[in-house]
Amino acid sequence: MDKLTVRDADVTGKRVFVRVDFNVPLEDGKVTDDSRIRASLPTIRYLLSQGARVVLASHLGRPDGKVQDGLRLRPVAERLTMLLGRNVPVTGDALGAGTVDAVNRLRNGEALLLENLRFHAEEETDDPEFAQQLADYAEVYVNDAFGTAHRAHASTVGVAKILPAYAGFLMEREIAMLSRLLEDPARPFAAIVGGAKVSGKLKVLDNLVSKVDVLVLGGGMANTFLLAQGKSVGKSLAEHDMVDEARRVLTAAEKAKVQVILPVDVVVAKEVTRGTEYKTIPAEKIPASWHIVDLGVETLGLIQDALAEAKTVFWNGPLGVFEIPSFAHGTKAIARYLAARADDGATVVVGGGDSVAAIQQQGLAERFTHISTGGGASLEFLEGRELPGVAVLRDRPAESPAKGGSKRRRKAQPTTAGTGRGRRA
């Protein structure tokens, strides 16, 4: 999948509509995690340095088509202004005469941020008139919001159908890294998939089983697989209606000669709360009234042994009840181990809010090959699905000289850090 990027666009003196993902967490009117803002900086800086007039656009939260003061983008604009070292004003609305005037007054090398796109219900319905109004602000379109690329919204698809549409540097890197996992991973290739439910990741598992050499299953979803093996899980979170599907995945993995790692010992707790009693026991001996909340030490050892020779690792989802510190040890231990594997030269790609959080909380982010900014988007990509916000971007012509293309790509300003911890796209 080779898309034209901002390097291929003539942007000098032109207004460029840039869809960014500034869907970041706020607290008391301040940005508490600016990773997604930082991830967009290489594209924004490049456009400004080329003399473009940059119109930034993003959503924030789920206002459902209504203005909500708590979801205004002013705190984001303030943080972006600080990071860029130049003023980036935010408009009072994404539409309107005042916004049109502000866009028209932009000079070469200046940027502004439109107010929250989702204050207009037409954004999420990809309303053609709304998309045209946004497109009228610019002559070129750039999408650098991979986290929203799985949504066919006005700002991700509608505008891109009207204007010449290019990928930003972050979008380019996300596509390149995730494509490599599916198309040409260095082997052995291992995937670690955690989180609460099998149902939300079944298609990803189906696709990965045909591509990986090792599959590690953890978190609440592992409990459903334990049920598929005929084991009891007590009062643990599990999807009893997905047991047959879990059994099918295990059968497919066996046929494909994929090594599957499931918990052999677990941490169980009387209640899934802070301060409760907990202990480590074999996975075959779960008390009927207890809950599985984390991996045991023996299981962590099995996982590390299985990943010791892996040259490529993809990780999505926590391996325990990560939001409770006492039950986050397994997830954090795997984060540290994968950082060490990346230090040894393995390609390690991570996506998903809690797995990213485990990395960031321990100051490990810079050691990973790539941290995806798109939780849902990265999963749909790894399902093998076409993302609307990617498909609509211009393809690089097949006749383009490979040497020239490679030369252009070397000018990229790579971005390796991002987060899925912001609000859901």
Q: Which two tokens stand for residue 97?
A: 């005469």
Question: What residues have CB less than 8 Å from 60, skipping those under 6 apart?
Answer: 22, 23, 24, 26, 71, 72, 73, 76, 116, 118, 423
Q: Which of 62, 161, 180, 197 is catalytic?
A: 197
* Residue 36 a catalytic site member: yes
189-193 and 214-217 as β-strands: parallel, antiparallel, unpaired?
A: parallel
Number of Cβ within a 10 Å radius of residue 308: 13
Using a 10 angstrom Cβ sphere, with 0-12 exposed, 13-18 middle and 19 or more buried, the burial of residue 83 is: middle
First to last CA, the chain: 23
CA–CA separation, 279 vs 291, rounded Å? 10
Q: Which of 158, 376, 389, 420 is catalytic?
A: 376
CA–CA separation, 413 vs 411, rounded Å? 6
CA–CA separation, 30 vs 391, rounded Å? 34
Rounded to the nearest angstrom, the gap between the alpha carbon of residue 47 and the centroid of all alpha carbons in its chain is 24
* Residue 219 a catalytic site member: no
**DSSP secondary structure, 50-115, as one string:** TT-EEEEE---S--TTS--GGG-SHHHHHHHHHHHTS---B-S-SSSHHHHHHHHT--TT-EEE--
* Residue 92 a catalytic site member: no
Are the C-beta atoms of residues 111 and 135 closer than 8 Å to each other? Answer: no
H helices present in 267-424, as ranges: 297-307, 329-343, 353-361, 375-382, 388-391, 402-409
Q: Which two tokens stand for residue 167?
A: 């990928």
Residue type, 243: V
* Residue 376 a catalytic site member: yes
Q: Which of 7, 15, 36, 332 is catalytic?
A: 36
Q: With DSSP H G I counted as helix, E B as strand and the rest as coil, what are the percentages for the chain, rounded to 5?
A: 40, 15, 45
CA–CA separation, 111 vs 102, rounded Å? 10
Q: Would you name the residues annotated as active-site residues?
A: 36, 197, 353, 376
